[in-house]
């Protein structure tokens, strides 16, 4: 027998509100029960709450008449309490750390998950946790009543990878490039070719040399060739400096051979 059923979750009060319609000859409240996180009416299962990833308290069932029914069906309203399991980091809203330092300290090496090629030998490493994400941008919010703001700004620098040390973030691990095993990791050249270098350093995807499997990202510096200024660069800089120094100006650009005036600029 299929029962007319409607259910909604009231997340703000951690409750479920359900409406079930049954025949008038059914003793609804006496036959309603919760077994193995499922709602039953007699021996018939109405809904399995595991299917919607919700856990309810089997001891708190409230039944109320919903509205005036018909000769064929009578609706009832059922309220259930949702049980929220206690999480490890339930005291804060931050993401759960995927790799706690105490677990990483037991690892002797890291290998490619596709071909098992050795990537980093961490047998002699130190393991330290990184601060919460975006700590550098928020550091000024943690300091109050400072007399000289420039003091901490001179000391505060972004955290970078250190040799023989593995730094564990929330969703990533930071390893020094000198600790990578041989030529086991290389830069994704296709991704690098599509990159627009807005800064001298950029994070670029890297992959396993042996199987081409994705590993993560590496920080690379742009190979910039020195560009020497041309004669026109020197001339332009000279003119601009002179303009900044004087309210009125007059420039004559003459030929070196015959002193013929080539250009006149004045204000």
What distance, in Å, lies between the first and last C-alpha atoms of the chain?
A: 96
pLDDT at 115: 92
- Report which of 101, 103, 106 is spatially closest to residue 166, judged by C-alpha positions: 101
Distance of alpha carbon 11 from alpha carbon 19, whole angstroms: 17
The residue with tokens 């949702």 is: 82
| Distance from C-alpha of 4 to C-alpha of 77, rounded to nearest angstrom | 12
> Structure tokens of 102?
């105490």
Q: Residue 210: enclosing H or E segment and its boundaries?
A: none
pLDDT value, residue 89: 47
Q: For the chain, what percentages of helix, strand and coil (3-state, to nearest 5) are there?
A: 20, 35, 45
The continuous run of DSSP H or E covering 28 comes out as: helix 28-31
Q: Which of 7, 238, 34, 211 is CA-nearest to residue 113?
A: 211
Residue 207 · residue 214 · CB < 8 Å: yes
Do 161 and 177 touch, CB atoms closer than 8 A? Answer: yes
Output the pLDDT for position 76. Answer: 86
The pLDDT, as a whole number, for residue 117 is 92
pTM metric for this prediction: 0.46
* Other C-beta atoms lying within 10 Å of the C-beta of residue 201: 10
Tokens standing for residue 46: 């109405």
Q: Residue 59: helix, strand or coil by DSSP?
A: strand
Burial 116-152 (b: 16+ CB within 10 A, else e): ebebbebeebebeebeeeeeeeeeeeeeeeeeeeeee
* pLDDT score, position 68: 64
The pLDDT tens digits along the chain (267 residues) read 556 778 888 877 888 888 888 888 888 888 899 999 999 988 888 889 888 888 999 888 888 876 665 667 888 889 999 987 545 444 444 556 677 888 888 888 999 988 999 999 999 999 998 887 777 767 666 666 556 656 666 666 778 888 999 998 878 888 999 999 988 999 888 888 887 777 777 888 999 999 988 888 988 887 655 455 666 766 777 777 776 766 666 777 777 777 777 776 766
**Distance from C-alpha of 137 to C-alpha of 153, rounded to nearest angstrom:** 12
């Amino acid at each position: 027998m299929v029962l007319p059923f409607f259910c909604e979750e009231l997340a703000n009060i951690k409750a479920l509100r359900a409406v079930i319609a049954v025949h008038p000859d059914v003793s609804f409240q006496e036959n309603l029960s919760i077994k193995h996180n499922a709602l039953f009416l007699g021996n018939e299962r109405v809904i399995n709450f595991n299917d919607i990833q919700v856990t309810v308290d089997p001891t708190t069932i409230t039944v109320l008449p919903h509205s005036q029914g018909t000769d064929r069906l009578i609706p009832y309203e059922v309220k259930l309490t949702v049980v929220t399991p206690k999480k490890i980091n339930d005291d804060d809203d931050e993401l759960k750390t995927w790799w706690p330092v105490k677990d990483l300290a037991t690892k002797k090496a890291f290998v490619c998950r596709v071909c098992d090629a050795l990537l980093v030998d961490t047998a002699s490493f130190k393991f330290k946790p990184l601060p919460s994400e975006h700590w550098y941008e928020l550091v000024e919010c943690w300091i109050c009543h400072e007399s000289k703001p420039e003091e901490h700004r001179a000391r505060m620098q972004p955290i970078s990878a250190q040799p023989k040390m593995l730094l564990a973030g929330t969703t990533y691990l930071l390893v020094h490039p000198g600790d990578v095993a041989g030529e086991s990791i290389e830069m994704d050249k296709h991704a690098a070719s599509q990159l627009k270098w807005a800064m001298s350093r950029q994070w670029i995807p890297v992959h396993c040399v042996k199987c081409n499997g994705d590993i993560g990202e590496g920080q690379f510096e742009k190979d910039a060739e020195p560009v020497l200024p041309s004669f026109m660069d020197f001339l332009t800089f000279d003119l601009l400096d002179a303009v900044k120094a004087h309210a009125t100006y007059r420039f004559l650009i003459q030929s070196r051979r015959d002193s013929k005036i080539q250009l006149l600029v004045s204000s």
